Amino acid sequence: MGPAIEGALIYDDWIASIITAGQACEPLRVPLFGELRMPLADPVMTSEFGPRYHPVRKRWLPHTGVDLVDRERRWRVPVLASGMGSVMATGSFAAYGRSVIIDHGHRVATVYTHLSSVSVREGDQVEAGDRIGRLGSTGAVTGPHLHFELRLGGAAVNPLDYVAPWPEPPPGHA
């Protein structure tokens, strides 16, 4: 394993430690497809989960989430909580820029990064569809987008295997 991959794994471990510290005593319950929703009302994926050539670092690194933009490529659109939960962390996390981490219980968490603004605080309770911030370009990015992760027991998994689109526009987004 080369230094680039090792560095990315250390950073991934740090994010996982934030999540697992707050969920250590809970049993893991894997969410069924559709229990969680997409974090944008009308998203388009611009980068998939898994290994990819990083556009800023110019080397192959694990991509621990998916990158999403608004279908019309607008930025500063509302970023929505994927499900009911408690905000476990907010802040600016190095390459992730402005970020929000939501604990959905049962060792399930979602991570929302590169936000232009954050509209929740640690400890806030959120419902699916609540605005938690706005899409932006903070951190190590080449342009505005939302990096979205799903963590099960702290480990990053492909969110598209679990998260469904909104069946109709979320409240306030018609």
> Is residue 3 pLDDT above 60, yes or no?
no
Other Cβ atoms closer than 10 A to 92: 13
Q: Which residue has better confidence, 46 or 27? A: 46
Tell me how far apart the alpha carbons of residues 116 and 110 are, in angstroms, rounded to a whole number.
18
Band of residue 170 on the pLDDT scale cut at 50, 70, 90: confident
Q: Read off the pLDDT of residues 100-125 as tens digits, 9 standing for 90 and up.
A: 999 999 889 999 999 999 999 999 99
Band of residue 21 on the pLDDT scale cut at 50, 70, 90: low
Structure pTM? Answer: 0.85
Is-contact 104 84, C-beta < 8 A? yes
Band of residue 161 on the pLDDT scale cut at 50, 70, 90: very high
List the structure tokens of 157.
Answer: 């998994």
- Domains for the chain: give ranges and CATH numbers: 3-164 (2.70.70.10)
Tell me how far apart the alpha carbons of residues 168 and 9 are, in angstroms, rounded to a whole number.
37
Tell me how far apart the alpha carbons of residues 125 and 131 are, in angstroms, rounded to a whole number.
12
Tell me how far apart the alpha carbons of residues 111 and 60 are, in angstroms, rounded to a whole number.
22
pLDDT at 7: 40
